Structures are given as structure tokens and as C-alpha cells.
Structure 1
């Protein structure tokens, strides 16, 4: 049985790896063409574009690996069934239960690989990509894809509420073009603080430079107070580590960073349902490989000739894509219908996993 397990593992790993390389190669070419069409046609920009596209490949592999595992497994099992090798394996003692155990074990190995990509490789590659883009754009990170910059909320006990807008962050962590809007308990604007830059000191203190402070009158008869300051200490809960998290989209954060981000939003009284769903999706996504193995296993018990292998592989690809689409759909529906966050993230896994397992048991028992 150990020899059989090794044989199945090598066959599935080789086929899945080949499918993954093909998908990544196609995406690399498409991304490179798209990036080159938006950049200058110089030798420097060409090399720069290829490096940027290469740094996107870990996130691509993270998303594609479950589908590649499903496609490779379906191909291997369908080929074994078409050549009667799987029949020989069954006669040699490979019961349906053992086959299920073997594939679930392989699915867990794929899950470890997916988790490692999402937790380590993807955040590092995205930060490296952001740094590379910052250097090419004069050393400035765009805090977000929106032209309005990065918006934050800072709420501390005993102090007024603050809405913060940061237009850009340098590669060294220095903030540029900072705007702070101070609100009182009645959510009325009482003060605006504009700074050309800000540097982190320690213990939650930033040093604002070239500051313009405008305090609005709170009562009739008071005048607007305008101050020009060379620098001004600014106490806030927004630390460089929080900014590092916010510069990445939730899909590219690690589980720890996303958990920190959710806690930051909750501490400032902001809506967290969307990001909690993203956190649950991040936690559950590695187990999509196990679901893919459950979907692939019935293909070994569909007796067909070798000419129908391509249709089985196509069906496996469609199943994988439908699972990804369902995963996105239930997240959106859960956000709209205010479902429990864990349910919105776990529903596709429960539906596809139970359906695949039920069909497999029915196929083995009655067919």
C-alpha cells in the first residue's frame, strides 16, 4: 500500500504541477502584455514590468492551486480508470475508503502549500511589488487604489474622534500630505490639521512637519484660529505596523495581519463584517484543496474509454471554477443579507464537500 500511495502521490503532484505551470505561464503572458501596454516601451520599463509581473505570480498561484490540484487529480484518476490500472488497484486492496483516505491526505498536503503561499509568499511579494512601484514613482506609495488616498479613523478614550487622510507613504515609512479632521462628540467638525509630512517617533507619537492648524469656532462670537507650526506631536493609535497592513488589500494580507486589521476597525467603531468574511475566507481557503480532492475522487469510478478523458478534465476545471465563483457569491450575499461571517465563508465548502462525498458514496454503493 505504501508503494501505491507513493505512485498516486507522484502522479497527482506531477500532473497538478504541470497544470499550475501552464496556467501561470498563460497569466504571466497576459499580465505582461497588459502592463507593457500601459508603460513606456524602453528597455528599463520592459525589465521593470517583467519584475512586477513576476511578483504577482505568488498571488496567482495561491488562487489557482486548488483548481490545478483538481484538474491534475481528475486527469490522473481518469487515465488510470481508462487504462484499467485503477481496476487493478482496487483488486489489489484499494477499497473506496482507502482511496478516500489517500486523496484526503494529498489534499491536506496541498492545503499546507496553499496556506504557506497565502501566509508568507503572497504578502512578501506584494510588499516587494509596492516598494518597486514606489521607487519607480519617486519613492511614494499610493496608500490605496483611489485618488483620494488612504482614509483612517482614530478613536481614543477621552479624546475627540479623528478622521485621517494620508495621500502617500514613502518606502521608508514617512507619511506625506496628511490631513486630520477632528470631530467632537456630536460629530461636528471642530478642527483641521494639515501637514506636509509626518515621521513616527515612538509610543504612538508621530511628528507632523509644516503644519497648518485651523480651529473652527464652537460658539457664536468666536473666531477661527489659524496656526502655522514647524512641527507638532500627534498622538494616535495608527502605528507603522497598522499602515503596513493597510497598504495591502485584505486578499493579500496574511491571517495575522488581517486579524490585526479587523481589531483596528473594531476598536475604532467601524464596520468589520466585510473584513471578517475576508478573514474567514483566508482561514478556510487552504481547505479548498481537500474539497477539490473530494470532487475529483468520483471520476475514478466513472468507467469510460480514454477518448473521454479530455471531457472529464474539462468538467473538473468547470467544477473548480464554479467553486471559486460560489465562494465569491456567498461572500457577497452574506454581506448583503447580514449572515454570520463564518457561514458566508464556509457555505461553499459545506455544499461542495457534502455533494461530492454524497455522490461518491452513492456511486460506490449503487453503481
Structure 2
């Protein structure tokens, strides 16, 4: 069995790697054609387009890994069946359960690779690609919004710990790819939603430990205990105090890691960043469904490799008189594409119907796994 395990593993890994490289080359070609329209805009040149496409490949590899495992496994099993090798293995005592166990052990390699690409390589590469394009073009992220970038934060007694004592709204006119914030307007409210401070800063740089350094600051504080000197008359000198500072620290739960969501959609973010941002949204009473679904999909997606290999197993028991291998590969491609479409469809349906995020993420894999088991039982009875 060990010899057979190594034989299957080497054949499936080789075939799946070839399929993955073929898909990556195809997607890279289409992306290069698409990026040609942007070449010449600002300082965006041909070499930047090629680098941008290259940095997008880890994301494609993450998405295509289960499909590559599916097609590679189907190809190997179809070849074994066409040469009657699989029939000999079955006659020699190889059961369906043993075959499934062998495929599962091979799937561990693909699952680990999928996790590494999805959690480490793809998010960083995607963020670097977007920053590259913006920096070369001389653009800023928040320039895409008419009023700039808005973010909500909570104010705590001890910086980022302790009791919540207020709410903060930040408006940023420009956000550079380096993380520098330009032209900030900060509105701070107390627990009763009374305006307590209005801060204008020309620039903000992140200093670490949830601390931003504001430069060229104008701070206006509104005293809550300010009283009216007479009916209908407000004593502004007692109510408002304004100070101008060269620099000022700002402690906030908003960090570059949270702002990095602007450089990538939730599907390309790491599970750690998705968890961090979902927590931030929940603390600020904002909707988190989209990011929670993406978080659970990120955790479950590596296990889709096992589902796809289970889907491939029944093809070893199917025999066609003509065009057997090519027909099975075509069927595998269709199944893989269908899995991706169903996976994305369930994400949108789950958001619209407010399904539990975990159920929304796991349901497509469960449905395909049940279909694979049913198909396997059917072909074994024939």
C-alpha cells in the first residue's frame, strides 16, 4: 500500500501542478490584456503592468487550488481506469474506503498549500499590487470618494482598553498607499452623543501601538458644562476652546491593518484581518455579515480540496468506450467551475437572507460532498 500511495501521490501532484500552471498562465494572459488599457496613465508603464499581474497570481492560485486538485485527480484516475490499472488494484484487494483514504492523505498537501496561499501569500501580494498601482499612478485611495474616506471608532477611558466613553468619526481626504493620511477631520462625541471635540489635522502617520501622530493640528473642545448666560444667549467663550499644535498623538482602534481592507476585497483578505475588521465593525454597531461570511469561507476553503477529490473518486469507476479521459476532464472542469459559482452564489444569498455566516460558508462544500458520496454509491452498485 505504501508503494501505491507514493505512486498515486506523485502522479496526482504532478498532474495537478500542471493544471494549476496552465490556469495561472491563462488568467495572467487575460489580466495582461486588461492592464494594457491602463499603461501610459501617469507613470504606469508596461513593467508595472507585468509586476501587477505577477502579484495577482497567488490569489488565483488560492482560488484555483481545489479545481486543480479535482482535474488532476480525475486525470490520473481516468488514466488508471483506461489502462485497467485501477481494475487490477481493485482485484488485488484495494477497497473504495482505502482509495478514499489515500486521496485524503494526498489532499492534506493541497489543503496546506491552499491555507498558506490564502492566509499569507495572496493577501500580502494583493495589497502590494494595489499599492503599486496607486503609487505609480500618483493616486490616493480616498480620492475615489466625493467626501473622502469615513471611519467610525470608539473612545475608551484608557486608550484602547477600558470603558467606552464616546464615539469618534474620522474623515480623511486622501490616504496614500504608504498608509499616510492627509487632511483629517475628526468629530468626537460623548456617551450622550453631544459633540465634545472637533479636530483638524494636515497629516497623520501611524507610530505603532494604536497611536497616530497628527501634524499641524487645530483642536476645538466643547465644554459640556458650559451654561447660558441668559435666555437664548450662549457664552461661546466659555463653551469652546481652540488650540493649535504642531503635533498631537491620537489613540485609536483604527490601524493600518484595518484600513488595509481598502486595498483588497474581503475574498482576498487573510482570516486574521477579517476577524480583526469584523470585531471593529461589531464594536461600532456596524454590519459584519459580509466579512464574517468571508472569514468562515477562508477557514473552510482549504477543506474544499478534500471535497473535490471525493468528487473525483467516482470517475475511476466510470468507463467510456471512446473519449474517456478527455470527457472526464471536461466534466471535471465543469464541476470545478460550478463549485466556484455555487460558492459565490451562496455568499450573496446568505447576505441577502441573513443566514448564519458559518452555514453560508460550509453549505456548498457539504452539498458537493453529499453529491460525491451519492454518485460513488451509485457507480459501486452498477
What TM-score comes out, normalization by structure 1 length?
0.89
State the match for 1:279 in structure 2. Answer: 295
Aligned-pair distance for 1:111?
0.7
Aligned-pair distance for 1:165?
2.7
- How is 1:182-221 mapped onto 2 (pairs within 5 angstroms)? 182-183=188-189, 185=191, 192-201=198-207, 203-213=209-219, 221=233
Decide which of 229, 232, 252 is 2:244's aligned counterpart.
229
State the match for 1:113 in structure 2. Answer: 113
Q: Secondary structure at the match of 2:169?
A: strand
Counterpart-to-counterpart distance in 2, 1:190 and 1:321? 54
Q: Secondary structure at the match of 1:271?
A: coil
Unaligned ranges ≥5, structure 1: none
Counterpart-to-counterpart distance in 2, 1:254 and 1:308? 40
Counterpart-to-counterpart distance in 2, 1:102 and 1:333? 35
Deviates further, 283-292 or 315-324: 315-324
Contact 2:165/2:191 (CA < 8 Å) preserved in 1?
no
- Deviation per residue, 1:296-315 (Å, 9 max, x gap): 00000011135132221111
4+ aligned runs moved over 6 Å, structure 1:
41-44, 214-219
Decide which of 305, 309, 312 is 1:293's aligned counterpart.
309
State the match for 1:27 in structure 2. Answer: 27
Deviates further, 294-303 or 175-184: 175-184
Q: Secondary structure at the match of 1:156?
A: strand
Q: Secondary structure at the match of 1:56?
A: helix
Classify 1:51/1:256 alpha carbon distance in 2 versus 1 (closer, same or farther; 3 Å): same
Q: How many residues align?
A: 365
Q: Secondary structure at the match of 2:155?
A: coil
Deviates further, 66-75 or 190-199: 190-199
State the match for 2:68 in structure 1. Answer: 68
- Deviation per residue, 1:33-82 (Å, 9 max, x gap): 11012221999711111011100000011111111111111122122212
Q: Secondary structure at the match of 1:160?
A: strand
Counterpart-to-counterpart distance in 1, 2:181 and 2:265? 19
State the match for 1:78 in structure 2. Answer: 78
State the match for 2:159 in structure 1. Answer: none
1:153 is aligned to 2:174: no
Across the aligned residues of Structure 1 and Structure 2, the Cα RMSD in angstroms comes to 2.8
Decide which of 159, 162, 167 is 2:168's aligned counterpart.
162
Counterpart-to-counterpart distance in 2, 1:144 and 1:351? 43
Counterpart-to-counterpart distance in 2, 1:37 and 1:137? 13
State the match for 1:314 in structure 2. Answer: 330
Q: Secondary structure at the match of 2:201?
A: strand
- Deviation per residue, 1:138-164 (Å, 9 max, x gap): 4x6525965655432101245431222
Classify 1:190/1:147 alpha carbon distance in 2 versus 1 (closer, same or farther; 3 Å): same
Counterpart-to-counterpart distance in 2, 1:94 and 1:18? 27
Q: Secondary structure at the match of 2:94?
A: coil
Aligned-pair distance for 1:193?
3.1
State the match for 2:345 in structure 1. Answer: 329
State the match for 1:176 in structure 2. Answer: 182
Counterpart-to-counterpart distance in 2, 1:42 and 1:260? 35
Counterpart-to-counterpart distance in 1, 2:24 and 2:360? 29
- Give the structure with higher Rg (CA): 2
State the match for 2:161 in structure 1. Answer: none
- Deviation per residue, 1:94-147 (Å, 9 max, x gap): 211111111122222211110011111112212322342343134x65259656
